[in-house]
Amino acid sequence: MTERLRVAGPVATSRRAWFVVAALFFVMLISSGIRSAFGVFLHPLLEQFGTSRAAVSLAFTINSIVFGMAQPLVGRTLDRHGLRAVVLPGAVIMAASLALLPAARDLWQLYLLYGGIHALGLAGTNTAVAFPVAVRWVRQRRGPVLGVLAAAGMVGSFVLVPGTMFLLLSVGWQGMLLVLTGLAGPSAARPPARRRAARPGRRAHAGGPARHRLARSPALARLLVPGAAQRRQRLQRDARAGALRPAAARPRPGASTGRQRVGPDLRAGRRRRPGHGLRRRARGLQPRPAHGLPRPRRRSLPGAARR
């Protein structure tokens, strides 16, 4: 039996979805702004460790490498366990690394805290997480929503870089890191649960179960084989197709296969005209003429003379 997939129109976006988009915008703003503010506290780190710029800048290089390598792992975790399993640990790790950074005394501690641990927190709160979640929650106006989320990183850099410079001059670089930790803390608030799968009447955006059902559907196989669907419909329409299939499957020498001619019998493959039975039934449903009126002349059915 052919499986049919019901596809409906776009579903209206709920209010909760817009709250999810706003939360993702805030998380990306804080995450991108903190990452862009590394140049602000580069000079305080040089004074604390008493080393060269290249040695301190190596922490940012390690951060970028770990950040890129963690993206596939973050995406896989997001697909399997949902948003909470990614954003919540990422925000906690990012805030903890910033809080512990003033206590670093050696370069390897800087590389571990900022280059490794902080990069894992940034990987769980960036665009690779926000875009799939926004597509899953938002049904309408996805283009503007994705554009706003993409601009969140630039807004974070525009706001937090001057803000961290002001904090550095006001409360020092350790106080500045504590303030950034306080900004990253609300990002660890409980994110919304993973959106449930669409109902059978709704459009399946993920395409997982629907794609597997479509691949196993016999209708797809008939569409891929050229002419298979048309030949099956013709055979089902033919009243004598059951007797013709064995002969068509195993043709004998000297006999032509098909519905028109099988072996010596020319009448076995005769096919009635389309709609012959429907016209015959329709004539039986016509009202009979009243008494005394001339009865309409009845036309002869096709093939009546042959019978």
Decide if 118 contacts 97 (C-beta within 8 A): yes
For the chain, what is the radius of gyration of the CA atoms?
A: 36
Q: In 3D, which of 183, 192, 193 has the Cα closest to residue 94?
A: 183
Q: Which domains does the chain have, with CATH numbers?
A: 15-188 (1.20.1250.20), 206-246 (no CATH)
Whether 137 contacts 79, CB under 8 Å: no
User: Between 70 and 219, where is the model more confident?
Assistant: 70
Cα-based torsion angle of the residue sequence 113, 116, 122, 127 in order, rounded to the nearest 10 degrees: 170
SS3 224: helix
Look up residue 153 and give its amino acid: G
Q: What are phi and psi of 262, to 5 degrees?
A: -135, 115
Q: Distance between CA 125 and CA 29 in Å, rounded?
A: 9
What is the pLDDT averaged over residues 211-240? Answer: 59
How far is Cα 279 from Cα 128, in angstroms, rounded to an integer? 63
How many CB atoms sit inside 10 A of residue 299's CB?
9
Q: Report the alpha-carbon distance of residue 255 to residue 262 in Å, rounded.
A: 6
* Helical ranges in the chain per DSSP H: 15-36, 42-49, 53-69, 71-81, 84-100, 107-110, 118-123, 127-137, 142-184, 208-216, 218-224, 228-237, 241-249, 276-285
Q: What is the pLDDT of residue 58?
A: 92
Confidence of residue 1 (pLDDT cuts 50, 70, 90): very low
Q: Give the amino acid at 147.
A: G
Residue 153 has which token pair? 């990183």
Q: Is the pLDDT of residue 12 over 60?
A: no
Q: What is the pLDDT of residues 49-69, one digit of tens each?
A: 888 889 999 999 999 999 999
Residues 175, 183 contacting (CB under 8 angstroms)? no
Split at pLDDT 50, 70, 90, the class of 282 is low
**Residues whose CB falls within 8 Å of the CB of residue 190, separated by 6 or more in sequence, listed in order:** 84, 88
What distance, in Å, lies between the first and last C-alpha atoms of the chain? 38
User: How confident is the model at residue 61, as a pLDDT?
Assistant: 92
Cα–Cα dist 136/17, whole Å: 9
Report whether pLDDT(93) > 50.
Answer: yes
Q: Over the stretch 166-187, which tens digit does the pLDDT of each residue have?
A: 888 888 877 888 888 777 766 5
Mean pLDDT within 218-239 = 58
Q: What is the mean pLDDT of the chain?
A: 71
